[in-house]
């Protein structure tokens, strides 16, 4: 097997494994625990390959001092990148153990050179792993132990905080940023000195350009000082584009657009006179990450010397990219900065973690030797974190029914329906402003300083990395001619970036709704139509398995006997090269859409930790249900106004559907070899939302092409 990207970048055994004198093995990873249970999955891989009990293997949280550089924890790639590298390192270690006739890994310590490269030719185990050992961190979570970064330094015992230089019990200060009234605003400097006079004793306030923050000994003092300054300071505010419905107008309002042909294959066949042209436009509004815990960070500088070291504690998705941008922002060498990862609340993409790390480091720079903890408020989390961009998708297809040769039965299979052309146009801002990718820092607040680092325009990552707005824009279905045009909106005031699935959510929603629309118009069963247009056997197997599990044809008929109920299906292979996933949704439409049940079948390749994968797929399906039914960011002329949960409702316990998840076996069709793992974290996002829209159409005959499928949008679609 080709070595994973992470192994190529970090080829030494010592970068991944440390053999302890007590016979246990410590595994290093550059991937971050985001609540998805990745550290547990990696530990299972290592234990399996090392032939050790899971209790003899430990993982160490990512730290720039000792972890391999694996970039971001994103794109459902952690098992493929980190897992396969760890597997290879462990296979090599297990071979060395035998070759050196060692009784334990402790003995192996004396036999190997720390700079030994990992032998990529050593075979890994061919037996399926599929472990069921539970995550040990659940115990700590249910006991409410202080395992989150949010708890660090807060506890009366400050010993967990040690800086780089071995000094412990360093003084902890609380920091808050002072925000202007707008999303983009400039401070009027003349009122600054007068405002400072009004501050209480014990509070220190700092300013650099339009960036303002305060520190004090308690949260209460800091919060009060921040609100006072907020009231006293004057700002010039840049207006935001007039918006309706989460950004439905942005496509007309964007000052510029970069349009490109993203993909084109085949040639359009000449359409017969009875060919039919379909066209539809779909919309996904801008969304918030909505992590349960607003972002937090701690930072301390060694001294006020220019060459001083910085330590930062962060729940970032990428410790090395964060370090790179901190170095750019503060003009220091990256080697002077240590970033320690500690878990935060569930993370589903580029949230405020990196930005608040910059804030903490910026404030801490003014008080060297003291540790500054910055906890964003809920309002800051919603306003300052990047948004998932609003997306518009237009689909056009030419469909030829070969009526001359068609018998009624074969038309039911869809085999005599040909997709002659398929064109997918997607309009969106870019899906990444992550740190580590540009020559200047990506932190929003660094753009406010006197130095005025340039505002970064959101980008889309390359197609090879799974693309951004264009992710899953290429349909999985056979068509003589396929063309995908991507239109990146430029110059808008919103900072947009990656959220679970990136463009796949809206693109799959559009593609799978469109397939349903064509099937309905042609009088075809949506499952049969999809199957007739797929070649990939694993895709076909996933859909057939799902169809069998829900007893598709019979349930699709019987569900209609209940007023307002319907059943819909959708399918996608995430990033066109990741996990295969099909979802059936059962809904009840009253004045609103109620999702009652979801069935998910996924082929994620080799299964490392079935329960972890099922949790990810199930959680993703519930999150996607929330996006599809309820979510839409909104703003006024100055700022984002969906700043709290009443203004940005998400799915609650009373609304959550039942979810049944089935994993396909992780081995190949002949059962002899393991399929490579494909990642599970994002596979359900697109198909779930699309299956819900298709079920709504089945239930009440209304095609809702605009998310969320709220009572308003449902009513609007019904009247259209």
Partner 1 sequence: MLKSNQLNVNGQVVTFKPGADSTAFQTIRNQLGLTASRYGCGQEQCGACHVLIDGQSKPICQLPADALVGHSVVTLESGQNKGLPSTSYLTALQLSFSAEHAAQCGYCTSGLLISATALLMNASGTLSDLQIRAALDPHLCRCGSHNRVLKAVRKAALQCGLKIDDSEVSA
Could you list the residues that contact partner 1 (CB under 8 A)? 34-37, 134-135, 137-139, 141-146, 148, 150-151, 154-157, 218-220, 223-224, 290-294, 343-348, 375, 377-378, 588, 594, 596-597, 611, 615-616, 618-623, 644-646, 650-654, 656-659
Q: Are 205 and 225 in contact (CB under 8 A)?
A: yes
- Closest approach, Cβ 34 to partner 1, in A, equals 7
Strand residues in 128-255 grouped as ranges (E): 172-178, 185-187, 204-208, 211-216, 235-237
State the residue for tokens 């329906």.
417
Task: Indicate the residue among 229 and 419 with the shorter CB distance to partner 1.
Answer: 229
- Closest approach, Cβ 644 to partner 1, in A, equals 5
- Closest approach, Cβ 179 to partner 1, in A, equals 15
Q: Are 427 and 339 in contact (CB under 8 A)?
A: no
Task: Indicate the residue among 325 and 586 with the shorter CB distance to partner 1.
Answer: 586
- Closest approach, Cβ 250 to partner 1, in A, equals 25
Q: Are 58 and 7 in contact (CB under 8 A)?
A: no
Q: How far apart are the first and last CA of the chain?
A: 53
Task: Indicate the residue among 91 and 621 with the shorter CB distance to partner 1.
Answer: 621
- Closest approach, Cβ 146 to partner 1, in A, equals 5
- Closest approach, Cβ 623 to partner 1, in A, equals 5
Residues near 337 by Cβ (< 8 Å), separated by ≥ 6?
Answer: 64, 309, 310, 311, 312, 323, 326, 327
Task: Indicate the residue among 135 and 228 with the shorter CB distance to partner 1.
Answer: 135
Q: Are 609 and 688 in contact (CB under 8 A)?
A: no
Task: Indicate the residue among 294 and 441 with the shorter CB distance to partner 1.
Answer: 294
Tokens of 299: 């930072």
- Taken in order 194, 195, 198, 200, is the CA torsion positive or negative? negative
Helix runs in 100-164, H state only: 105-108, 137-142
- Closest approach, Cβ 712 to partner 1, in A, equals 22
- Closest approach, Cβ 230 to partner 1, in A, equals 15
- Closest approach, Cβ 155 to partner 1, in A, equals 5
Residue 71, CA atoms < 13 Å, CB-side half-sphere: 15
Q: What is the residue-wise DSSP string for 221-280? A: HHHHHHHHHHHH--EEEPPPPP-STTTTTHHHH-SEEEEEEEEEEE-PPPPPTT-EEEEE
User: What CA–CA distance (Å, rounded) separates 104 from 245?
Assistant: 62
Task: Indicate the residue among 614 and 714 with the shorter CB distance to partner 1.
Answer: 614
Report residue 8: phi and psi, to 5°. -65, -40
User: What CA–CA distance (Å, rounded) separates 595 from 717?
Assistant: 18
Task: Indicate the residue among 347 and 531 with the shorter CB distance to partner 1.
Answer: 347
User: What is the side-by-side strand order in the sheet with 371-375?
Assistant: 204-208, 211-216, 172-178, 371-375, 296-301, 310-314, 337-341
Tokens of 505: 């959510």
Task: Indicate the residue among 381 and 457 with the shorter CB distance to partner 1.
Answer: 381
Task: Indicate the residue among 289 and 483 with the shorter CB distance to partner 1.
Answer: 289
């Amino acid at each position: 097997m080709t070595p994973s990207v992470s192994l190529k970048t970090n080829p030494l055994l010592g970068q991944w494994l440390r053999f302890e004198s007590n016979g246990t093995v410590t595994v290093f990873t550059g991937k971050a625990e985001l609540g998805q249970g990745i550290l547990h999955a990696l530990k299972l891989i290592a234990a399996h390959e090392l032939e050790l009990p899971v209790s003899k293997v430990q993982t160490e949280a990512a730290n720039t001092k000792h972890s391999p550089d694996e970039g971001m924890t994103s794109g459902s790639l952690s098992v493929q990148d980190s897992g396969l590298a760890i597997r290879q390192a462990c296979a090599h270690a297990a071979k060395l153990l035998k070759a050196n006739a060692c009784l334990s890994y402790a003995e192996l310590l004396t036999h190997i050179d720390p700079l030994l490269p990992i032998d990529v030719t050593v075979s890994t185990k061919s037996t399926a792993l599929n472990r069921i050992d539970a995550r040990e961190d659940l115990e700590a979570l249910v006991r409410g132990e202080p395992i989150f970064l949010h708890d660090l330094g807060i506890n009366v015992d400050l010993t967990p905080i040690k800086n780089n230089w071995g000094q412990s019990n360093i003084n902890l200060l609380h920091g808050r940023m002072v925000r202007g009234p707008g999303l983009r605003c400039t401070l009027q400097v003349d009122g600054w000195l007068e405002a400072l006079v009004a501050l209480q004793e014990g509070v220190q306030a700092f300013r650099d350009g339009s960036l303002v923050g305060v520190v004090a000994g308690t949260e209460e003092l800091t919060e009060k000082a921040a609100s006072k300054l907020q009231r006293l300071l004057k700002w010039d505010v840049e207006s935001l584009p007039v918006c309706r419905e989460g950004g439905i107008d942005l496509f007309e309002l964007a000052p510029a657009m970069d349009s490109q042909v993203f993909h084109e294959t085949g040639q359009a066949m000449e359409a017969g006179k009875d060919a039919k042209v379909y066209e539809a436009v779909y919309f996904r509004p801008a969304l918030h990450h909505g992590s349960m815990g607003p972002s937090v960070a701690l930072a301390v500088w060694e001294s006020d010397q220019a060459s001083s070291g910085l330590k930062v504690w962060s729940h970032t998705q990428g410790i090395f990219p964060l370090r790179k941008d901190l170095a750019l922002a503060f003009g220091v060498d990256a080697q002077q900065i240590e970033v320690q990862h500690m878990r935060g609340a569930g993370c589903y993409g580029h949230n405020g973690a990196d930005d608040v790390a910059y804030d903490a480091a910026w404030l801490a720079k003014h008080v060297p030797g003291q540790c500054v903890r910055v906890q964003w408020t809920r309002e800051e989390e919603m306003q300052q974190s990047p948004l998932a961009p609003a997306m518009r998708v237009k689909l056009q297809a030419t469909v030829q029914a070969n009526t001359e040769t068609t018998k009624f039965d074969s038309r039911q299979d869809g085999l005599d329906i040909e997709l002659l052309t398929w064109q997918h146009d997607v309009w969106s801002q870019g899906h990444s402003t992550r740190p580590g990718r540009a020559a200047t820092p990506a932190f929003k607040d660094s753009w406010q300083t006197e130095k005025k680092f340039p505002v970064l325009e959101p980008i889309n990552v390359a197609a090879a990395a799974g693309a951004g707005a264009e992710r899953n824009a290429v349909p999985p279905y056979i068509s003589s001619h396929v063309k995908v045009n991507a239109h990146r909106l430029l110059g808008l005031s919103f900072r947009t970036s990656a959220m679970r699935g990136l463009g796949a959510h809206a693109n799959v929603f559009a593609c799978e709704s469109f397939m349903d629309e064509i099937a309905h118009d042609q009088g075809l069963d949506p499952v049969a139509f999809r199957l007739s247009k797929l070649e990939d056997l694993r895709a076909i197997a996933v859909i057939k398995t799902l169809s069998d599990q829900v007893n598709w044809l019979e349930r699709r008929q019987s569900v209609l006997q209940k007023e307002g109920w319907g059943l819909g299906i959708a399918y996608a292979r995430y990033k066109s090269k990741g996990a295969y996933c099909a979802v059936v949704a059962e809904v009840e439409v009253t004045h609103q859409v109620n999702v009652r049940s979801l069935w998910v079948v996924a082929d994620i390749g080799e299964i490392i930790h079935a329960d972890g994968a099922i949790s990810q797929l199930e959680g993703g399906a519930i999150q996607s249900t929330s996006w599809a039914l309820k979510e839409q960011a909104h703003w006024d002329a100055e700022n984002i106004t969906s700043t709290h949960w009443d203004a940005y409702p998400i799915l609650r316990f009373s609304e959550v559907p039942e979810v049944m998840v089935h994993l396909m076996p992780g081995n190949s069709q002949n059962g002899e070899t393991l399929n490579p793992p494909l990642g599970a974290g994002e596979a359900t996002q697109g198909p779930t939302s699309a299956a819900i829209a298709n079920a709504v159409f089945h239930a009440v005959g209304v095609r809702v092409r605009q998310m969320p499928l709220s009572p308003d949008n449902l009513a609007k679609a019904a009247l259209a």
